[in-house]
């Protein structure tokens, strides 16, 4: 994925501002790596933590018990 070899890592297909609102500009054609990534899994929450964002629940929703 273009952009993931740079520091700081940022996929060139990512649009928006992390922590505010983002979207994937190639969502329908994204790679299997992206398709296999699950919101709320261990890798997702590790990436969120690197950006200072709270963990998501395993179903990909915000865990209000943690965020509160």
Q: Which residues form the interface with ligand SF4 (CB under 6 A)? A: 1, 11, 13-14, 24, 26, 30, 34
Cβ at position 48, least distance to ligand SF4 in Å? 13
Cβ at position 65, least distance to ligand SF4 in Å? 27
By C-beta, is 26 or 55 nearer to ligand SF4? 26
Helix (H) or strand (E) holding 21: strand 21-24
Beta-carbon count within 10 A of 56 CB: 19
Beta-carbon count within 10 A of 61 CB: 10
Outline where 1-68 has alpha helix (H): 32-36, 42-50, 64-67
By C-beta, is 34 or 53 nearer to ligand SF4? 34
By C-beta, is 25 or 61 nearer to ligand SF4? 25
């Amino acid at each position: 994925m273009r952009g993931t070899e740079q520091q700081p890592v940022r996929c060139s297909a990512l649009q928006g501002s992390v922590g505010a609102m983002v979207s994937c500009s190639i969502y329908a054609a994204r790679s299997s790596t992206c398709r296999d990534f699950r919101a709320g899994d261990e890798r997702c929450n590790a990436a969120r933590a690197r950006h200072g964002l709270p963990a998501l629940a395993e179903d990909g929703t915000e865990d209000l018990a943690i965020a509160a």
